[in-house]
Chains A and B, each alone.
Chain A
Amino acid sequence: MTIVRIRSLSALAVSALLALTGCGSGGGSASGDPVRLLVFGAPEELGAYRTLAEAYQQARTGERIQLIEASDRKDLLARLATSVAGGAPPDLFLMNYRFYGQFAAKGVVEPLDERIAASSVLDPADYYPVAMEAFRWGGAQLCLPQNVSSLAVYYNRTLFTRYGVPEPTAGWTWNDLVSTATLMTRDDRGLVIKGTEAEGAARLPAVHGLGVEPSIIRLAPLVWSNGGEIVDDPDRPTRLTLDSPAAREALRNLIDLRQAYGVVPSDAEVEAEDDESRFLNGRLAMLMTSRRATTNFRTITGFEWDVAPLPVYRQPVGVLHSDAYCMTRGSRNKDAAWRFMEYAMGEEGQRIIAATGRTVPSHMGVSRSPAFLDPDQPPRNSQVFLDAIPTVRALPTVSTWPEIEDLSYGILENAVHRGDKIDDVIRELDVKSRPMFARGENG
């Protein structure tokens, strides 16, 4: 009784707060209403979901999908949490496995095993196991992954040709990456320039060799490839383990990209123009990012571009990027929601999303079909993403992982751009993240 009252009161407080902060959640829902799907993304990604929803409504008369578009990942989290607390959650939401832990741990997500077993449309064996596995929590399949993306290196072929530098190839090493990036960092006369001299005196690079975000998800595959680990126990992590020699070396090398070689843009340059825009504008030779960027890059008309696998230390390892459809336990429209999930996860739905270029389909058949590998659509070398799948690993799904990512991003950003001492960086990451791990819950 008391608990119920506290809950409703706090819901009231939260809705007051929401009214003030200007991010209200959707209204109530009853069966017969459209299935409400909460997503976020860049305009072209939202466009992809709209296409999917329209195609579904065309294919199945009587079904209706209502997209709720959040402005970014954090907005999506806030909307989801507050709408759950308010008792009117969306029926479905799309979320990365790195961030679904807090909702999984708190029983917000509806387990799908029974529905999967009963489905005549959906066969779990059709999907890449690594992605399915990332959304298992406490032995139950909570969400269905729509994609199985990973990190790759996008590069501007036209620039490589112009400067006569060999393009990256499968099996290239970290050293190859550094020397290629160094050769591709040029001033406005097209001469090789050292970007570290940028501050103050000499000329600024007109083209930078490489763009890479100083974040734990970029660092992780490099550490793994070098034989190190990110956390002490991937299933029940209690601390970051960047102090091992292998992890330390990978981190050192990442920092040196800016501090020793100056091949990545400085913090001011990143603030002025983020890496993705810089690549779009032809001022970045290579960009380390996931499949997501493809939709955006397909708007490029001024130059040719392609994609190469991640460089390798000892063995090739990738990092899983995967988003999944999750059903809320509080949904009042579960059957209709499930029907949409079946469609979105099925070949047709997967093809529609794949055609936007945004994802590497989690459906194995679709991923090998022209919908994904269409030779007429850049990048020509999309096979890189499929080749990486056997080697990809997932990051921990501990419920406090979003906090840990935010924390590590700040510290790593300072390390790369200010050149903080590496021992201090590793210690700070460890000390400050420990309480977050301690508060976390695992599936």
Chain B
Amino acid sequence: MSAGDAAPGRRAARPDTRARRQLALMLTPYLIGLVGLVMVPALVTLGMSVTDYDLLRPPTWAGLDNFAALLDDPIFRVALLNSVVFALVAVPLRVLLALGLALLLHRRAAGVGTARTAALLPTAVPEIAYGLLWLWLFNPLYGPINQLLRVGGENGLTAFGRTPPQWLTDPTSARAGIILMSLFTMGETFVVLLAARRALPRDVYEMAAIEDATGWDVFRRITLPLLAPVLALLAVRDAVASLHFTFVPAFVVTDGGPPPYATTYLSLFVYQTGFEYLRYGYAAAATLVMMLLTVAAVLVQWRLIRRYRRFYQL
């Protein structure tokens, strides 16, 4: 019914209650999703992590055995280290690339629309297809990347007489390759930064122009500090996401290798342990470690927001 039905003044709380009820109604689908797709699986994971469970027979109580075994598991330690190193290297690079592109492409100019689309496109490619594409790009002998690197060189060497990177067989090159792959999927970060940059007041930049600030001054003294909170949030978000988006590249392109476990990240470890070796309890314990990392990242994010709000007295 409409607002006209409410007797005015009789119950002052009435419109407020209705607004709340509407709010609750609108939140319901999200809450159902949150509970069904996040909370319940998280609790189940917690439950599974203290059991031995192979999906086929009923789980048996294992206490903290799974966690103790994780500590001793060299593969898990490598996977954890790989994931952390990936986040530390790839996340700043991704955010910087997105920032650079956003700053280059936020103005209206000829070709900017095309360039923005190009920057976004890799993110829109289905992950598996994207992985297969890179499998071709990385082909050590016939792939276009190494063909290009060999231009001007002889006997399969680069123009500088060096062997081109062995993307899929050398551990360091493979890790670099996965990072390289991940760089081009920063489209979302790029869009957010593009919007953030375009939301910055134009007159502030005109002010700087009148004061004859150089491009570097403008970037350092204006753009960077104004975008800093967004950048920090994006970086944390990206770090959390990096736990997941390493999965498909490692699964499709490197299969966790080169041997033994150069690109086995936590996500792939969990997948293999659970789905391939049917050790669901153990995989759940590893997932829990991943969730703890996520929680830690979210705490950092929360602190950043708080500090930002205090800083600007918002």
**B contact patch SS:** loop
Is A273 a contact partner of B142 (Cβ separation < 8 A)? yes
- Starting from the known contacts A10-B280, A22-B128, A414-B259, 14 additional A-B residue pairs (CB-CB under 8 Å) come to A3-B58, A7-B58, A12-B44, A14-B55, A74-B276, A82-B55, A204-B155, A271-B139, A271-B169, A273-B141, A403-B277, A410-B257, A410-B260, A417-B169
- Report the separation of the CA atoms of residues A16 and B34 in the bound assembly, to the nearest whole angstrom: 12
Contact mask for chain A residues 90-104; partner B; CB cutoff 8 A; 1 contact, 0 none: 000000000000110
Is A78 a contact partner of B56 (Cβ separation < 8 A)? no
Contact mask for chain B residues 280-293; partner A; CB cutoff 8 A; 1 contact, 0 none: 10000000000000
Does A256 lie at the interface of the complex (its beta carbon under 8 Å from any beta carbon of B)? no
Does A13 lie at the interface of the complex (its beta carbon under 8 Å from any beta carbon of B)? yes
Does A202 lie at the interface of the complex (its beta carbon under 8 Å from any beta carbon of B)? yes
Is B275 a contact partner of A9 (Cβ separation < 8 A)? no
Contact mask for chain A residues 66-84; partner B; CB cutoff 8 A; 1 contact, 0 none: 0000000010011001101
Does A200 lie at the interface of the complex (its beta carbon under 8 Å from any beta carbon of B)? yes
CB-CB < 8 A to A406: which residues of B?
A: 272, 276
Does B229 lie at the interface of the complex (its beta carbon under 8 Å from any beta carbon of A)? no
- Interface residues in chain B, defined as those with a beta carbon under 8 Å from any beta carbon in chain A: 36-37, 40-41, 44-45, 47-48, 51, 53-59, 74, 128, 139-143, 155-157, 163, 166-169, 257-261, 271-272, 275-278, 280
Q: Please, could you name 25 A-B residue pairs with CB atoms under 8 Å apart, sorted by A?
A: A3-B59, A6-B51, A7-B59, A13-B40, A14-B55, A16-B41, A78-B275, A78-B276, A81-B55, A82-B55, A85-B56, A102-B277, A107-B57, A200-B155, A200-B163, A204-B155, A267-B169, A271-B139, A273-B142, A403-B277, A406-B272, A411-B259, A413-B258, A414-B258, A414-B260
CB-CB < 8 A to B260: which residues of A?
A: 410-411, 414
CB-CB < 8 A to B275: which residues of A?
A: 74, 77-78, 81-82
Q: Total contacts A to B, CB within 8 angstroms?
A: 117
CB-CB < 8 A to B128: which residues of A?
A: 22
Does A298 lie at the interface of the complex (its beta carbon under 8 Å from any beta carbon of B)? no
CB-CB < 8 A to B277: which residues of A?
A: 102, 400, 402-403
Is B55 a contact partner of A85 (Cβ separation < 8 A)? yes
Q: Which of A106, A107, A201 has the largest count of B CB atoms less than 10 A from its CB? A: A106
- Report the separation of the CA atoms of residues A400 and B273 in the bound assembly, to the nearest whole angstrom: 11
Does A125 lie at the interface of the complex (its beta carbon under 8 Å from any beta carbon of B)? no
- Report the separation of the CA atoms of residues A144 and B141 in the bound assembly, to the nearest whole angstrom: 43
CB-CB < 8 A to A409: which residues of B?
A: 259
Is A10 a contact partner of B44 (Cβ separation < 8 A)? yes
What is the distance, in angstroms, from A69's C-beta to the closest C-beta of chain B? 16
Does A353 lie at the interface of the complex (its beta carbon under 8 Å from any beta carbon of B)? no
- Report the separation of the CA atoms of residues A213 and B259 in the bound assembly, to the nearest whole angstrom: 14
Does A269 lie at the interface of the complex (its beta carbon under 8 Å from any beta carbon of B)? yes
- Report the separation of the CA atoms of residues A18 and B48 in the bound assembly, to the nearest whole angstrom: 17
- Residue among B37, B56, B143 making CB contact with A81, cutoff 8 Å: B56
What is the distance, in angstroms, from A426's C-beta to the closest C-beta of chain B? 15
- Report the separation of the CA atoms of residues A248 and B167 in the bound assembly, to the nearest whole angstrom: 31
Is A268 a contact partner of B169 (Cβ separation < 8 A)? yes
Is A17 a contact partner of B41 (Cβ separation < 8 A)? yes
CB-CB < 8 A to A200: which residues of B?
A: 155, 157, 163
Contact mask for chain A residues 22-52; partner B; CB cutoff 8 A; 1 contact, 0 none: 1000000000000000000000000000000
- Residue among A7, A107, A108, A199 making CB contact with B163, cutoff 8 Å: A199
Is A21 a contact partner of B169 (Cβ separation < 8 A)? no
CB-CB < 8 A to A17: which residues of B?
A: 41
Known: A6-B58, A10-B53, A108-B56. A102 touches B156 (CB 8 A): no
Is B45 a contact partner of A272 (Cβ separation < 8 A)? no
Known: A200-B157, A268-B141, A414-B260. A16 touches B37 (CB 8 A): yes
What is the distance, in angstroms, from A336's C-beta to the closest C-beta of chain B? 23
CB-CB < 8 A to A78: which residues of B?
A: 275-276
- Residue among B48, B57, B139, B271 making CB contact with A10, cutoff 8 Å: B48
